[in-house]
Amino acid sequence: MAVVETGIAQRGHARHLLGNAKASWQARCARHFLDGAARSDEIRHELNVLEDRAKELHAKLSTVEDELSGLTDDEEFNRNFREAEGRWKELSVRDQQLDTGHQVAARQLEDLATTYRELSDKARVRRTQRRNRAG
C-alpha cells in the first residue's frame, strides 16, 4: 500500500512540475512574441520617420535642382549635386537596413508562433494521454 501511495504522490508531483514547465514556456513564448511585436512597431515608426525625411529631402533636392539650373559654374553644380546624391544614398541604405530588420523580426514572430502552436499541441496530446492512462 505504501508503494501505491508513493506512486500517487510522485505522479502528483510530476504533474505539478509539468504544469510549472508549461506555464514557464508559455510565458517565455509570449514575451518573445511581445518583444517582436514591439520591435516591429519601432521599425514601422522608423520607416515612417525616414519616409517623411525622404519627402523633405526630395523637396529640398527639387529646390537645389532649380537653383542649379540657374548656375553657370560647373564646379558649384557638381558640388551641390554630389552633396544631394550622398544624402539620398544614405537614406536609401538606411531604408534597406530597416526593411531587412523588419523582415527578420517578422520571420522570428512567425517562428515563435509556430513553436508555440507545436508546443501547445504536444501539451494537449500529453494531457490526453495522461487522462487516458489515468482513466
Which 3-state string (H, E, C) describes 11-63?
HHHHHHHHHHHHHHHHHHHHHHHHHHHHHHHHHHHHHHHHHHHHHHHHHHHHH
Q: Is the pLDDT of residue 3 over 80?
A: no
**Total domain count for the chain?**
1
- The pLDDT value recorded for residue 18 is 82
Which pLDDT tens digit goes with each residue over 56-76? Answer: 999 999 998 887 776 667 787
Report d(CA 60, CA 127) in Å as an integer: 64
Who has greater pLDDT, 34 or 73? Answer: 34
Q: In this structure, which amino acid lies at residue 7?
A: G
CB of 29 closer than 8 Å to CB of 119:
yes
Report d(CA 72, CA 51) in Å as an integer: 33
- The pLDDT value recorded for residue 72 is 63
Query: If pLDDT is split at 50, 70 and 90, which confidence band does 122 have?
Result: very high
Residues in the chain: 135
- The pLDDT value recorded for residue 64 is 87
Query: What count of other Cβ atoms lies within 10 Å of the Cβ of residue 133?
Result: 8
**Domain enclosing residue 33, as ranges:** 2-134
- The pLDDT value recorded for residue 24 is 86
